[in-house]
Amino acid sequence: MVFDRPVIYGTSYKGKLYVGKHIGNGKDYVGGGNFIKKILKSKNKKHLITGAIEYVDDISLLNEKEIFWINKLNPNLNLAPGGEGGDRSMFFTKEILKSKSEKMKKIIRNKEWCRNISKSKIGKKLSEEHKNAIRLKHIGKKLSEEHKKKLCYYNSVEVRGEKYRKNMKKAITLWWQKRKVELNQCL
């Protein structure tokens, strides 16, 4: 939708609402929230319906108006309380975090959603910083006795022969079967 003046707008996607603000610079605009950006990247723009909720004469009132309309309409796709835009999670109170969590729980993760998440992860590698963060998180954790026994068993000299290969083949086969079931549930 083309907005030629400051506006509070609503964007609907498959019956769910996103409320936002726009300064009105005349672009074809449907929204800037995280969900809207993901929808646009997934080429599902045809499902978006955008309309003006309220035109605002004073740009300095946009933040106030956005907060008002988000509180009044309680839109499904807004994760932030509105006002300043962008990732505001560092300023969230416990109530806002709980509200965001409840909204995320209501999102239906259908086959298409799972497929898109899976596609977005393909070919991505963890940075060294991320790998180190994961490693540091596990430093100091103690292995269970059961896990220690398994490690000793698989590292013993007598197991590393034919028996070891058969056990590994069986374990990998079972793992892939389980993984296929999980993937099929997502699809």
CA atoms within 13 A on the CB side of 103: 18
- Considering 56, 79, 106, which residue would you say is the last residue of a domain? 106
- In this prediction, residue 156 carries a pLDDT of 61
Which residue segment(s) compose the domain that 35 sits in? 7-106
CATH number at residue 84: 3.40.1440
For 54, the token pair is 């309220």
Q: What is the 3-state secondary structure (H, E, C) of 5-73?
A: CCEEEEEEECCEEEEEEECCCCCECCCCCHHHHHHHHCCCHHHEEEEEEEECCCHHHHHHHHHHHHHHH
> What residues have CB less than 8 Å from 164, skipping those under 6 apart?
154
Tell me which of 83, 106, 129 is where a domain ends.
106
pLDDT of residue 157: 55
DSSP state at residue 82: S
- Extract the residue ranges of the chain whose pLDDT is less than 70: 1, 26-28, 33, 83-92, 151-161, 186-187
Establish if 1 belongs to a structural domain: no
Confidence at residue 1, expressed as pLDDT on a 0 to 100 scale: 65
Number of domains within the chain = 2
Residue 2 counted as domain residue: no
Domain assignment present for residue 63? The answer is yes
H or E element at residue 177:
helix 162-186
Q: pLDDT tens, 86-121?
A: 555 656 678 878 887 887 787 777 888 788 878 877
